Structure 1
C-alpha cells in the first residue's frame, strides 16, 4: 500500500485500473458441526498483471491461509471453523478483498449440519446407525470404529461410553474390540456356538474318512474360533474360523480320519471348538479294522497271554485264588498258545499244572515225553531246558535230583546273562536261598538294578522281607518298589510295615511312592509312628499344598514332636476355613512365630473370629496383632484376613494415627474373581483419571482398587483382547469404605480417597465447606481428567460466588479456562469474569468457543471493560472483531468507537461509515482518516465522501506524503479522466504548490481556474508565470487559451488550434487529417505526441474560413482502435484587433471573402511595408 501511495506522490499512474476477477460471486459453505470446512477461490485481474492486496473476514470463524497476497492469479484457501457450532446454525458474513486493482466484497453463508460419517449405507451419526453398518459391512464398520470421527460423532451424545470405547481400542484385535463394544452398548448379544454332534464313531478299514461338523451361531457379529484336536489321526481342514465366514448362521468344520495314523484296535480322540467364552468338546471313537495290522495284533495278543499267565500266578501266590482255580485258569489259557511255535512251553506248563494238582501219573507221562526231547530242548532254549530241570526236581524232590538241577540251572543262569526267569527256578531249587534270605534279596536286587521290573521277583523279595523284616535296612529304589508292591497288594506283615515306617522317617528327601505307601499303611494301622513318618516326609519335601493339610492336622492333633509341623499346618491350611485352630498350635505360635505375613494374617484373623471361644488366646496375641497391624498398614498390605484384623482394631485410639495415615491405601481393595481360564489380567479404569492400572490374575483372582462406584474393569485374555461386559466376574469388597467415614483420613496425599470422597459428594450433590475443601484438593490430583477438573473448579467458583467470598472467587476464577466449559454454562462464568474484571481470561475463552449465542449487551460490557482496563495501546484481533461486531449491531459506546478508530480495517464503505459515526461522537478520527485515505488511494475507490475525509484530515495533517499522493491522484483523475474535483481542495493545491512543485496538481489548478473571472492579482501573476513556463517548455494545453482575457498569451497559443486526445500512455496515437475544402484530398498522418500522462495534443494553424477533418487511431501491439471522423474549423470569435501577422492575414482573407477590394489593397500594402521594415531592420537571433 505504501508503495502505491509513493508512486501516486511521484505522479506515476495506471491509466486504466484493471478489474478484479473472482472465481465465485458468493461463498456457500455446508459444514458439519464440530468440524472444519476448507475451500478455495482465485483472485485475478483483467490485465493479468501482478497485483497486491489484503483479505479481511467479517467473521472470526472464516480464516484464510494468507491475509496478504501478491501475484497475477492467487489461489486463496479459506477455512471455516464449526468446532463450537450447533447443527442448524447459519452464519453469514462477508469477505473484503482490498487490492491495488480495486476493492470488492464477497458475501458468505455457512450452514451447519449435524455431524455424520459417510459410509456405503449413507451417512451415520449415532450408535443405532453404526450398529446397522456393522451388521451390513463389518469391515467398513471396523474402519469407522478406528477413525477419529467415531468418538466425536457417533459417541457425541453418549458420554458414558467414551471410557469403554477408548480402552477397548487397545485390544489386539479390532474386530473383537468392535464386537465387545456393540455388546457393551446393548446393540447386539454375545455369539453362542452350537454343534450338531458331540460324539462320533467310525469303523476304519484302511481308507481315510472325510467328515464334517456343522457349527451354528445364534447371533450376528464377530467371533474368533479355534479348532484343535489331541488325536494325531484327526486332520483338521481349518484351525481358525471367523464368524463372518459363516453362511447364514452355519459353518462346516471339515476333518479327516487318517487311517495310516491309527493304532491297532480302538482309538480315542477329541475335537475342541473354542472361543473366549466357550469350549465345545466332540468325542471321537475309531475302531481300526485294517488287516495289515494282524501281525501287530498277534504281538499284542501274545503280550496279553503272558500277562494273563503272570497275573494268574501272582493271584495264586497272593492267595487271591486257590490252587484249584489257579490250575483251571492255566488249563483255560493253554489253548491260546500257538502249538506250532510253543509246543515245548505247552508241555512244560501242563507238566507244572499236573505236579501242582498231584496228578503224578500225568506228570510222569509228560516228563517222560519231555525227557525224550531233552537234547532238543537243551539246544533250542536254555530257559526251556532249565524249566524242564526245575519240573524234574519239583516232581522227584530227592536231594540228588535237586542238587543236579541246581548246578545245571546255575550254570545256565550265569551263562545266559542272568536271565531273571532262570533265577526264579534257582530260587526254588537252590537250598542256599532257604538258609539265608539275604542272598535271595541280593540276587533279586541285582536283577532290579539290571533293569528287571517283574512283579514275580518283587513278590519273591517281599516274601523274604516278610519272613525276616530286619533285612530291610535301607530304602533305595529297589526296596521302595518291593514294599510298594506289597502295600498295594496288602501283603506286608505288621513287622515289615513298621520297619518300612522307621526307614521312611529317616529319609532325607521326599519320595512320592514312599508317601503313598505310608498313607495306605496308616489307613491300616493308624499309628503315631506312621503318622510321624508321613508328616516328616512331607516337611522334608516342602509340601505345603492344601491336599497335604489333613496329615499335618492329624499330626498337630496327635501332638507329634516334629520340627516345623505347626508351620506346615499353617502353610497347607485352607485359608477360607475359619474353624478354631488347635490350642497347642496357638500356644506354639504365641512364643515362636516365624510365619510369613500372609500366614500370620490368617492366624490372627482366625484368633479374632474365634476370640469368644478362647478369650485367653486372644489376650496373649493382642499386642503382637497390634504391632502386626501397624506394620501391614505402613506397607499398605491388604487381604481378606488383613481386612478382618483392620476392622478389629479400627476403634483402638492407640492406632488412630496409623489408620488416618495409611488406611486410604487399603480401604478400597476388592477381590476380583473370574472363572474364565482365558483371562490372565484385568485393567481398572477410573473415568476421572488418565492412567489405568493393570493387574495380573493368579488362579483367577486378583486384588484391585476401586475408588468410585462407576469404575470400569476390563478383562484381558491371553491374546491381549479386552472385555468389559461379555465375560462374567465377581467382586468382593474386603473393606467397606463407609465404615471409615468418621476417621479423618489423610486424603491430601492419597488420590484414591480423594476420588472416593469426590464421587460421594458429587453423587449426593453435597456442597458444603468440607465438600469444597475436597474439591480444591482434587484439583491437584495427578492425571485428573480435564472434564472432572473443570467440574470441581466450577463447583468451587459457584460456592464462593454464592457466599460472597471475593478473594477465593478471584483465585479460582483465574484458573478457569472458559473454552473447556460446556456451552450451557459458559455465559454464567463469562459474566463472573466480566464482573470481576478478568477481561483477558474472558477474551481468551471467546477466542476458542466464539461469540455465537452470547448477547451483544454482554459482549459490549466485556469489550468496553477490557478497553477501559487495558487502554488503547494494545491491539487484540479478537477484541477488534468483537468491537466491530458490536458496532455493526448498533450497540456501542465511546470506548469501543475509540478502539475501532485506532485499529479497524475493513472495506472503504465500512470504514467511512465508522468515520461518520465517530465524528458524531466528537472522537479524534485522524488515525482512521489516514488509514481510510490510504485505502482509497490503494484501491482507487471512487467515492464522493473522500474529499470530506481529506478536508478533515488536512486540518491536522501528519503524513504529507499521503496528502501529496491524494492531491496528485485527484488532480490526475480531473486532468486525464475528467472526474469532477472538489472545489474545496483547489486552495489546498495552491497552498501545497507554494511548498513543492507538482506539475499534475499545477495543471489541475490551472484547468480548474481557466474559467474563473475572480482571480486575485497574485493568482494572475502565478498563472502568467507558469503558462509562460509551460509554453517555453513546449507544453501547451488547449485550456491555456481560456486565459486570453486574463493574461497576455504568447502568439503560439493564440494563433493555434488544438486537437486533444487522452488514452493509455502505453499506446501509440496517430492523427489522420485533410483540409475540408480540398475535396478528394488524401489524409495526412502524423504521430500525436504524449504531452502529459496520456494527453496527446496536435496543434494546427487555420486561417479564415479554413476547416479540416480528422480521425485518430491508437495502437497497442496488434490492436488498433479508430475514432469517428471529426472536424476542426476556423472560428470567428478570435480577437482580430490584435496586431499580429496571423491576424493581418486573416483580415485580408476576410476582406477578400466579402469583396472589399479597397480595404483589401490597403491591408496588403500595409502588410508588405511591415514585412519589409522587419526584414531590413531586424535580424534573427543567432
Structure 2
C-alpha cells in the first residue's frame, strides 16, 4: 500500500486508455500430493509507451504470489501452490486479483492434484478403462502397475465393488492370474480360453520319427501360460511351456514328435494334455505301425494262443453251467478246426477233437483216433502225454485200465509237480485226491501255493467250496483269491456266501478284497448275515465316508446288532441333508452321545424337528441337548445346525455374560459349501473391516463370518491364485436371525465389545440413542476399514449434535484427528467444532478448505473468538475467514476492525467493509485511506466520491493524499471534461487559503467551475480566486478561462485580444506549433514554427490576435518526430472575448467585422474617428517620460 501511495502522490497522472491482457485465460497448474509447485502467467500492457504497475492478490491460503510487484509492458507473474493435505485427483479453483494502474482485473486459476507416477504409467492411466487398454498392449507392465498405490486409488474411485475386488485380489505379490481375474470380474475382458484346432492327430504307417503339429487356438487376450505334457513313451514334445511369444496371432503350432522305436505293431494310442490355470483339454494321438518283419511262426503262435484261450473260456462256462452242451460243442469245433489248420502236425488239436467226439458219443471214431495218436506221443510234453492218458480213460472205462492210467499220470506228476495242467488232470484221475473233498481242497491249495493262477483250478476250487462250504475255515490270501474269483464270475452259492460272511466277521481288519467278495455276494443274495459282515468289516476299517452310508443305513433298517453301527450310521451321513433318521437311531443316542460335535448337532437338530411329533423322545433328549449346546457355545462353535439349535433353545436358558458375548460374536456366521475340491483356503474381504480373514476348507466347507451382502469371498489354491466365489458357492445362513430370538436389548448387553454384534446392529433400524451407542463403540474399533470408519465418525458426530448430546460430542471432538475423517467431511466437522467451542481445532481443520461452504454466521463466530484471544493475527487464513464472513453480511466490531486495519482486496470489497465499519462506528481511517489510494491508483472515477474525502479529512488525513485526490478530480474536469463537485472547488480554495501546495490543474479546475457558474462565486472567495489568477499570470499559465475574469483581475485585459490554440497531451514533451494566417481565400505560403509552451500538466497553449475574416491554420508535431502530426485545425477569432472588451482592440475588431459584413460607411467612419482619437490621447497622455 505504501508503494501505491508513492505512485499516486504525483502530478504526473495521465488517464490510461488501454487495458491489460494475460497470456492465459485460465492459469492451470498440476501438483503432486503433499508437494508444492510453481506456475506463471504474463501480463501485457496494451500501450507500449505506458508500462503497467501493480500487484497480484489471491484469496486462497495455499496460493502464494511470488512476484510482489510488477512494473513493465510485459511482466511475468510467478505463483506457488502448496498441496499439503490434498489427495490425488482433487481439484481447486480460485481467482487472482490484479490491482494495477490499468484498473482491477481477475484471472481464474485451477489446480489439479495429479496422481503419482508409478514407473511412468500413472500419468497415462487414470481410469479402469485405461488400465484395461494397458493390459491389452503391455501385460507385464499392467501387472506391475496393478500392485502400485496409484492403481489402488483408481479402484477406490471406481466404486465399492471394484475396491473390494482389488483388496481381495491384490493380497499376493505380482500374481498375473489374480490380475486377470480382476479384469474378468469387472467385465473388462472375457476369460481367456484355449482349444485344439483338431481334436485328434492320426498318423498311419509310421516308419521312423515323424513330426506332427498340435495347433492351439487362443480365444481372447491376456497372459498366456500353458503347460503341455504327455505320459506316452512314443510321444515327444518340443517344449512343455507355452507363452505369449509362441502364438502368432491366435494360433500356436507346437511340434509333436512320434518315435517309431517305441511303437508296437498296429495302433498306438496316446494323449497330449494342454492345461492352464482355468482349464485343460486333451488331444488324442493315434499312430499306426504296419506289422512288418514278423515270422510266420510267430503269427501262427499268436493265433494258436488266441484259440487256446477261447477253448479255455468255453470250458469254464460249460463247467459253470453257463452254456448248454450243444452250443458248447459247436463253438469248440470251430476253435479246434482252426487250431488243426494252423498246425497240422500238432497232436494237441487232434486230442481236442477226440474229446469233442467223446462228448458226442462217437466212441468208435474216438478209439480209432486214439490208436493213431498213440504213435505220435513220442517227444511230446508230459502235459500232452497226461492229457492223452486222461482221454483214454474216458474211452476205456474199465477199472483196471483207469487205475493203470491214473498211476501213470501220478508218476508223471511226481516228476513234474510244477505243471498245473497235470495237476488239473489229477483232479479227475487220482483216487487218492478224490477220496474226500478235504483232500481235494488240500491238493488245490498246494497248487495255489506253488503259484498257480489258472482259472481252471480256481473254478474247480470254487465249485468244490460250493459243494462243501465247511471246507472254508479261514480267509487266508489263497482263499481270498479263490473267493474273489468266484464272486467276480458269479459262481458263489448261498451257502458259501454265508460261510464267507461268517468268517469275514471274525477278521480284525478291513480288506478291500473281502469287501468286494461280500458286496458281490450281497448283490446275488441280500442276506442279513452278509450285510452284518459288510457293516462289521466297514466299521473295523473306520469307513466314515458318505459312500459307505448306504451299508450302515441297510444295517439299521435290518436291525442288525453290530457294535457301533449307529455311530457309523451318523458319521457317514451327509450333514447337508435334512432327513429324519430311523427312530432306533434316535433312541440309541437318547441317553449318551459321544459323537463329534458336528454330527451331534445334526442329530440334535433332527430331534428338535421331531419334538411336536414325539414329545417324549424330546423330553428324554432335552437335558443332554442343553448341556451340549452350552458346551458348544463356550467353545465358540457354530454351523448351520448349531445355529438353529441355539435360536430354538438358548433363549430359554440363563446365560452368563461370557456365553452371551460368545453368542454376539457368532452373529454373521455363514457356512459355505464349495464344489472346488482343489482349493485350500477361503478368503473373506469385508466391506467395513480392514484386511481379510482366512479360513481352511475341509471337504469343501468352511464356516465364515459375513457381515454384509457386499462382502466378497475368494478361494485360494496352492499357487496363491484367487478366484471370486459366486455361482458355484452355496451359502447356508447360520446365525443372521439370532437377533429375532434374543432381541436387541439382550444382545446389546452382551455385545458391547463384539465387532460382529456392532456391525450387525449398525445395519438395523435402531432408535437414535441406540445408534449413538453402537456407533460410538464402532468408532473406537481399530478393525474398521478406513473409508467406512471415516464415514461412521462423521455420522456419529452429526447424530450427537442432533440429539444435543453435548458432553459426549465434546469428548468425541476433543480426541478426533484429521486423519479419522474423510477430506470431504472435514468441513462438516469444523462446523461442529465451531458450534461447540473448539475454535483453535476448527481453525486448523479449515486449512486448505473452501470457506464458502460454511455459513457466514459460523465463520463470524469462529473469527470473533479467535480475534478476542488475539490468535493467528498474522496468518492469511484468519484474514480470509474474516473477509468471507464480513463480505457475506456477518460480522461484529472485532472482525470489522481487523479487516479495516489490514484487509487487502478489490475496491468493491473495501467499500462494503467501509460501509459496515461506519455503521459500527469504529475507526475507519486506515480502510478509508486504503480505499482512496486504491481508487486513485487503479484510475477509477473519484469525482462522485467526495464522501470518502470528507471522512478522510475529518479523521485527520494527510494533505498529500488530499491533494492527490483533488488533483484526480481536477484532471477529470479539465482533461476529461467531467463535471466537478462544488465541495472539491471549496477544498481547493481552502488549501490555497491555508498556503498549501496546490497544483495548477486544481486551480484551473476551480476557475473553470466559477467561469461557468459565476453566480456561485461568493464574495468571500473573490479575493482568493483573484489571487489564483494572478499566480497563474506570474507562472505564465495563460489559458482562455482567464479571459472570463477580466472584471476581477485587471491583468486579464492583456489577453482579451488573444485567441488560443490549446492542446492536451502527455507532459514533458516538446511540441512544435506550425501555423499560417489565412484571410479570405488567401493564405500565407509558408507555415511559421514556434514552440508550443506547456502551461500545465499536459496542457499546451499559445495565443494569437485575430480579427474577423482572419483564420489561423495550424498543426502540432513533436520536435523529435516532425512527421507525426498530433493535431491540426483552423482557428477563428473569439467573438465572446471581443464583446467583453472595451478599447481600441474592440473598435478595431468592430471595424474589421463591419468591413467584412459591408456595413454602412458612416458607422465605419465613426468607429475610425473614435479609434484615432483614443490612440492620440493615449499617446499624449500616457507616453513615456524622458
With structure 2 as the length reference, what TM-score do the two structures score?
0.63
User: Mean Cα displacement is larger for which, 308-317 or 715-724?
Assistant: 715-724
CA shift in 2, pair 1:297/1:831, >3 Å: farther
Task: Indicate the residue corresponding to 1:376 in structure 2.
Answer: 379
- Give the Cα separation in 2 of the matches to 1:792 and 1:782: 13
> Residue 180 of structure 1: CA displacement?
2.2
- Give the Cα separation in 2 of the matches to 1:403 and 1:39: 125
Task: Indicate the residue corresponding to 2:336 in structure 1.
Answer: 334
- Taking the TM superposition and a 5 Å limit, the aligned residue runs for 1:131-530 are 131-153=132-154, 155-156=156-157, 158-171=159-172, 174-199=175-200, 201-212=202-213, 214-222=215-223, 224-229=225-230, 231-242=232-243, 246-252=247-253, 254-292=255-293, 301=303, 303-337=305-339, 339=342, 343-377=346-380, 381-530=381-530
- Taking the TM superposition and a 5 Å limit, the aligned residue runs for 1:618-1017 are 618-649=618-649, 651-652=651-652, 654=654, 660-724=660-724, 728-737=728-737, 739-740=740-741, 742-743=743-744, 744-745=746-747, 746-760=750-764, 768-818=768-818, 820-846=820-846, 862=862, 865-866=865-866, 868-869=868-869, 880=875, 882=877
- Give the Cα separation in 2 of the matches to 1:431 and 1:468: 19
Aligned 8 A contact 2:213 2:256 in 1: yes
RMSD: 4.6
Other structure's SS at 1:31 match: strand
- Give the Cα separation in 2 of the matches to 1:230 and 1:77: 73
- Give the Cα separation in 2 of the matches to 1:299 and 1:705: 71
CA shift in 2, pair 1:88/1:534, >3 Å: closer
- Give the Cα separation in 2 of the matches to 1:296 and 1:922: 130
Given the alignment of the two structures, is residue 89 of structure 1 paired with residue 92 of structure 2, yes or no? yes
- Give the Cα separation in 1 of the matches to 2:610 and 2:924: 92
CA shift in 2, pair 1:774/1:580, >3 Å: same
- Give the Cα separation in 2 of the matches to 1:729 and 1:647: 25
> Residue 774 of structure 1: CA displacement?
0.4
- Taking the TM superposition and a 5 Å limit, the aligned residue runs for 1:1004-1043 are none
CA shift in 2, pair 1:841/1:238, >3 Å: farther
With structure 1 as the length reference, what TM-score do the two structures score?
0.63
CA shift in 2, pair 1:657/1:864, >3 Å: closer
Aligned 8 A contact 2:789 2:820 in 1: no
Other structure's SS at 1:30 match: strand
> Residue 311 of structure 1: CA displacement?
0.8
> Residue 435 of structure 1: CA displacement?
0.5
> Residue 805 of structure 1: CA displacement?
2.8
Aligned 8 A contact 1:518 1:534 in 2: yes
> Residue 505 of structure 1: CA displacement?
2.1
Other structure's SS at 2:124 match: strand
> Residue 810 of structure 1: CA displacement?
0.8
- Taking the TM superposition and a 5 Å limit, the aligned residue runs for 1:79-118 are 80-81=82-83, 83-84=85-86, 89=92, 112-113=111-112, 115=114
- Give the Cα separation in 1 of the matches to 2:299 and 2:145: 63
> Residue 584 of structure 1: CA displacement?
2.2
- Give the Cα separation in 2 of the matches to 1:555 and 1:153: 63
Q: Deviations over 1:182-224 (max 9, x none)?
A: 2333333333444444455543433455444554455434464
- Give the Cα separation in 2 of the matches to 1:299 and 1:774: 90
Aligned 8 A contact 1:682 1:694 in 2: yes
> Residue 828 of structure 1: CA displacement?
3.0
Aligned 8 A contact 1:521 1:530 in 2: yes
CA shift in 2, pair 1:783/1:363, >3 Å: same
Which segments of 5 or more consecutive residues in structure 2 lack a partner in the other structure?
1-26, 41-57, 66-77, 98-106, 904-916, 927-1186
> Residue 635 of structure 1: CA displacement?
1.8
Q: Deviations over 1:532-551 (max 9, x none)?
A: 22222222222222232232
Aligned 8 A contact 2:672 2:702 in 1: yes
- Give the Cα separation in 2 of the matches to 1:93 and 1:296: 106
Aligned 8 A contact 1:669 1:705 in 2: yes
Aligned 8 A contact 1:84 1:849 in 2: no
- Give the Cα separation in 2 of the matches to 1:808 and 1:396: 120
CA shift in 2, pair 1:894/1:306, >3 Å: farther
Aligned 8 A contact 2:671 2:702 in 1: yes
Aligned 8 A contact 2:826 2:845 in 1: no
> Residue 128 of structure 1: CA displacement?
2.5
> Residue 703 of structure 1: CA displacement?
2.0
> Residue 638 of structure 1: CA displacement?
1.9
> Residue 313 of structure 1: CA displacement?
1.5
Task: Indicate the residue corresponding to 1:31 in structure 2.
Answer: 30
Aligned 8 A contact 1:180 1:725 in 2: no
- Give the Cα separation in 1 of the matches to 2:32 and 2:857: 26
CA shift in 2, pair 1:620/1:888, >3 Å: closer
> Residue 278 of structure 1: CA displacement?
3.8
> Residue 683 of structure 1: CA displacement?
0.9
- Give the Cα separation in 1 of the matches to 2:130 and 2:291: 60
Q: Deviations over 1:440-494 (max 9, x none)?
A: 2222212222222111111222233233322211111111222333333343344
- Taking the TM superposition and a 5 Å limit, the aligned residue runs for 1:124-135 are 124-135=125-136
CA shift in 2, pair 1:572/1:728, >3 Å: closer
Other structure's SS at 1:343 match: coil
Other structure's SS at 1:704 match: strand
Q: Deviations over 1:805-828 (max 9, x none)?
A: 321121011122235534443233
- Give the Cα separation in 1 of the matches to 2:121 and 2:781: 45
Other structure's SS at 1:636 match: coil
Other structure's SS at 1:730 match: strand
- Give the Cα separation in 2 of the matches to 1:776 and 1:624: 41
CA shift in 2, pair 1:268/1:375, >3 Å: closer
Q: Deviations over 1:964-997 (max 9, x none)?
A: xxxxxxxxxxxxxxxxxxxxxxxxxxxxxxxxxx
Q: Deviations over 1:518-561 (max 9, x none)?
A: 23333444333222222222222222222322322232222222
CA shift in 2, pair 1:29/1:578, >3 Å: closer
> Residue 794 of structure 1: CA displacement?
2.0
CA shift in 2, pair 1:782/1:186, >3 Å: same
Other structure's SS at 2:732 match: strand
Highest relative contact order (Cα 8 Å, sep 6+), 1 or 2?
1
Which segments of 5 or more consecutive residues in structure 1 lack a partner in the other structure?
1-27, 42-56, 65-75, 95-107, 905-916, 924-1182
Other structure's SS at 2:708 match: coil
> Residue 314 of structure 1: CA displacement?
0.8
Aligned 8 A contact 2:270 2:284 in 1: yes
Aligned residues: 839
- Give the Cα separation in 2 of the matches to 1:341 and 1:81: 107
- Taking the TM superposition and a 5 Å limit, the aligned residue runs for 1:1121-1160 are none
Aligned 8 A contact 1:508 1:540 in 2: yes
- Give the Cα separation in 2 of the matches to 1:616 and 1:603: 16
User: Mean Cα displacement is larger for which, 774-783 or 793-802?
Assistant: 793-802
